[in-house]
C-alpha cells in the first residue's frame, strides 16, 4: 500500500506502493513500447478512469536524476490543451505515471471521419496547438516531437478540444546542455536538427508548420523514395504548394505556413508571431469544404497502422554514416527557403463556416501519453504509404520516411 499521505519518507513527490493494482483496476493495454506499457485503469476509490504508463526501473538505470528532473517539470504543466500528469507511484521494480485519459481519438482519424472540413477548421486546430506550445515555451520547455499522432481529441464530442501528448523527448532550455541531440519524428524535424546544429524552441514552430501543411492537403511536404534525397529536401526546406491540391487554399494559409517552415530559425515565426497572423487571429481562413481531397490524401498517406512509427537514433546514425551523405546545408550560414513563393494574404473573407457532423468514433481510445521515457513502437515492418494520384505521371511515389537522424555535413 502507499505510504501515509502518499509520500516517500524523504518528502519526494513519488508515492511508494507495494502493488499498484491495490489502488487501480487495470482494464486494457492502450499501447506498448520497448521500455514501457500504457494501460487504461480505474482508480478504485474514486472510480475515475486514467491512463497509467508503466516503466520498469531497469530501463531507467543511469538516468534516474534526469528522469526525476523531467517528471518534476511535467508536474508543473497545467494547460487545457496539454494531457496532464496527475500522479506518480513507484514500487520496487516499476515507476508508474498516472496520466489524464483522453478518449476522442487521433487528429487525422477525426478529420477523415468528418463530412465537412475547411481551412477555418484547420486554423482553429492550429491555434489550440500554438496556444499550448506557446505556454510550454514560456516555461522554457521545448517539446521536440510535435506530430499529428501526438495530437488527441479530449472527448468524442464534435466540439472537443485538441490535446498535446507525449513529452518523451521534451527538453528544458537553459539546463546547461546545448540541444543538439537527434530527435523527433521523420518528416517533422527542422533542418537545424538534421544538420546537427544547436537548436531551440524554433524546432517546435517548424513542426507546427509541417502539421498545418498536412492539415490543408493531406500529404507531407517532404517525400522521396531515397532517404538521402529526403533529408536533402528538408535541409534545403525544399517544399511546394502543389497544384491541384493547393489551388483552393488561400494565399494567407500559404503565407502562414511559409513563415513557420522557414529554413533559418532566426527568421522563423515564434508561437507569439504565428498567433498574430491573420490566418489564425483574423478571418482570412476560407470556409470552402476541402474534406474530399484532404481526407482522400490522408487515407493514402497516413494509414493508422503505418504512421505510428518512432525511430532508433543509434541505428539511424550508423545508417547515415554509411551513406556518407553530403549536404548543401552550410556549416556556418543558414539561408532562408527559396523553394516557395512569398504570397500575400488575401483580403479578409467575411464569411461563416458551418461545421458538419462527424461519424461516431469506433473502438477503444488510443492515447499515447506524456512520459519521461520515450516508448518506441515497433510496427515499422509494413510498407510505407505512398501518394497515388499525383498530376505528373513520371513523378516518383512519395512515401513517408521511416527514420530520422543526425546528418554529418561534408562533401560528396
pTM above 0.75, yes or no: no
Q: Specify the pairing of strand 85-90 against strand 141-142.
A: unpaired
Which whole-number Å values give the CA distances from 173 to 71, 141, 198, in the listed order? 15, 6, 12
Under 8 Å between Cβ of 375 and 36: yes
Question: Residue 318 has what pLDDT?
Answer: 40
Q: Give the lowest-confidence range in 49-58, 161-170, 224-233.
A: 161-170
Q: How does 170-190 read in b/e, with b if 16+ C-beta sit within 10 Å?
A: bbbeeeeeebeebbbbbbbbb
CATH of domain 105-169+185-294: 1.10.510.10
Average pLDDT, the chain: 73
In the chain, list all ranges with CATH 1.10.510.10: 105-169+185-294
In the chain, list all ranges with CATH 3.30.200.20: 16-100
Check pLDDT > 60 for residue 387. no
Contacts of 179-182 with C-beta under 8 Å, sequence gap 24+, read: 179/142, 179/144, 181/313, 182/313, 182/316, 182/317, 182/404, 182/405, 182/406
- Going by pLDDT thresholds of 50, 70 and 90, the confidence category of residue 196 is confident
- Going by pLDDT thresholds of 50, 70 and 90, the confidence category of residue 304 is low
Check pLDDT > 70 for residue 105. yes
Grid cell 514552430 in the structure block, residue: 205
Question: Residue 167 has what pLDDT?
Answer: 63
Q: Which candidate, 204, 168, 180, places its Cα nearest to that of 59?
A: 168
Please give the CATH topology (third level) of the domain spanning 16-100.
Answer: Phosphorylase Kinase; domain 1 (3.30.200)
Residue 48 among known ligand-binding residues = no
- Averaged pLDDT, 16-41: 88
Question: Which one is catalytic: 87, 121, 131, 145?
Answer: 145
- Averaged pLDDT, 101-118: 91
CA distance 298 to 244: 16
Check pLDDT > 80 for residue 381. no
- Going by pLDDT thresholds of 50, 70 and 90, the confidence category of residue 246 is very high
Check pLDDT > 80 for residue 110. yes
Q: CA angle at residue 129 from 268 to 52, to 5 degrees?
A: 130
Give the range with max mean pLDDT: 19-33, 140-154, 155-169, 201-215: 201-215
CA distance 93 to 98: 16
CA distance 149 to 165: 9
Residues 298, 169, 267, 286, CA torsion sign? positive
Percent of the chain with pLDDT over 90: 43
- Averaged pLDDT, 27-54: 88
Q: Specify the pairing of strand 94-100 against strand 49-56.
A: antiparallel
Number of residues in the chain: 412
What would the pLDDT profile of 310-350 be if each residue is shown by its tens digit?
Answer: 333 333 334 344 444 443 333 333 333 333 334 343 334 44
158 is known as an active-site residue = no
**E strand or H helix at 294:** helix 291-301
Q: CA angle at residue 208 from 203 to 213, to 5 degrees?
A: 125
Under 8 Å between Cβ of 101 and 40: yes
Amino acid at each position: 500500500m502507499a505510504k501515509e499521505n502518499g509520500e516517500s519518507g524523504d518528502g519526494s513527490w513519488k508515492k511508494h506502493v507495494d502493488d499498484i493494482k491495490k489502488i487501480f483496476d487495470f482494464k486494457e493495454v492502450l499501447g506498448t513500447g520497448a521500455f514501457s506499457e500504457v494501460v487504461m485503469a480505474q482508480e478504485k476509490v474514486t472510480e475515475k478512469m486514467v491512463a497509467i504508463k508503466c516503466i520498469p526501473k531497469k530501463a531507467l538505470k543511469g538516468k534516474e536524476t534526469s528522469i526525476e528532473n523531467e517528471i518534476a517539470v511535467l508536474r508543473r504543466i497545467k494547460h487545457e490543451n496539454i494531457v496532464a500528469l496527475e500522479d506518480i507511484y513507484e514500487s520496487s521494480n516499476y515507476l508508474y505515471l498516472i496520466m489524464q485519459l483522453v478518449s476522442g481519438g487521433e487528429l487525422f482519424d477525426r478529420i477523415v471521419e468528418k463530412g465537412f472540413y475547411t481551412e477555418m477548421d484547420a486554423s482553429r486546430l492550429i491555434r489550440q496547438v500554438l496556444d499550448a506550445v506557446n505556454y510550454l515555451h514560456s516555461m522554457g520547455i521545448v517539446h521536440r516531437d510535435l506530430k499529428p499522432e501526438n495530437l488527441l481529441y479530449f472527448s468524442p464530442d464534435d466540439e472537443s478540444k485538441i490535446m498535446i501528448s507525449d513529452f518523451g523527448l521534451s527538453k528544458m532550455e537553459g539546463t546547461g546542455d546545448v540541444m543538439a541531440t537527434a530527435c523527433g519524428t521523420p518528416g517533422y524535424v527542422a533542418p537545424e536538427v538534421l544538420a546537427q546544429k544547436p537548436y531551440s524552441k524554433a524546432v517546435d514552430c517548424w513542426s507546427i508548420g509541417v502539421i498545418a501543411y498536412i492539415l490543408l492537403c493531406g500529404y507531407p511536404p517532404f517525400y522521396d523514395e531515397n532517404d538521402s534525397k529526403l533529408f536533402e529536401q528538408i535541409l534545403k526546406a525544399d517544399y511546394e504548394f502543389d497544384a491541384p491540391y493547393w489551388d483552393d487554399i488561400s494565399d494567407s494559409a500559404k503565407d502562414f505556413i511559409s513563415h513557420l517552415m522557414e529554413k533559418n530559425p532566426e527568421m522563423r515565426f515564434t508561437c507569439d508571431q504565428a498567433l498574430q497572423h491573420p490566418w489564425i487571429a483574423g478571418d482570412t481562413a476560407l470556409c470552402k469544404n476541402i474534406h474530399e481531397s484532404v481526407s482522400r490524401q490522408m487515407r493514402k498517406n497516413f494509414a493508422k497502422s503505418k504512421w505510428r512509427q518512432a525511430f532508433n537514433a543509434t541505428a539511424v546514425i550508423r545508417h547515415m554514416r554509411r551513406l556518407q551523405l553530403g549536404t548543401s546545408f552550410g556549416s556556418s550560414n543558414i539561408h532562408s527557403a527559396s523553394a516557395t513563393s512569398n504570397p500575400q494574404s488575401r483580403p479578409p473573407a467575411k464569411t461563416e463556416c458551418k461545421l458538419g457532423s462527424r461519424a461516431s468514433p469506433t473502438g477503444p481510445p488510443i492515447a499515447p501519453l506524456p512520459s519521461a521515457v520515450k516508448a518506441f513502437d515497433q510496427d515499422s515492418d509494413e510498407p510505407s504509404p505512398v501518394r497515388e494520384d499525383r498530376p505528373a505521371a513520371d513523378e516518383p511515389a512519395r512515401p513517408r520516411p521511416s527514420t530520422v537522424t543526425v546528418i554529418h555535413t561534408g562533401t560528396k
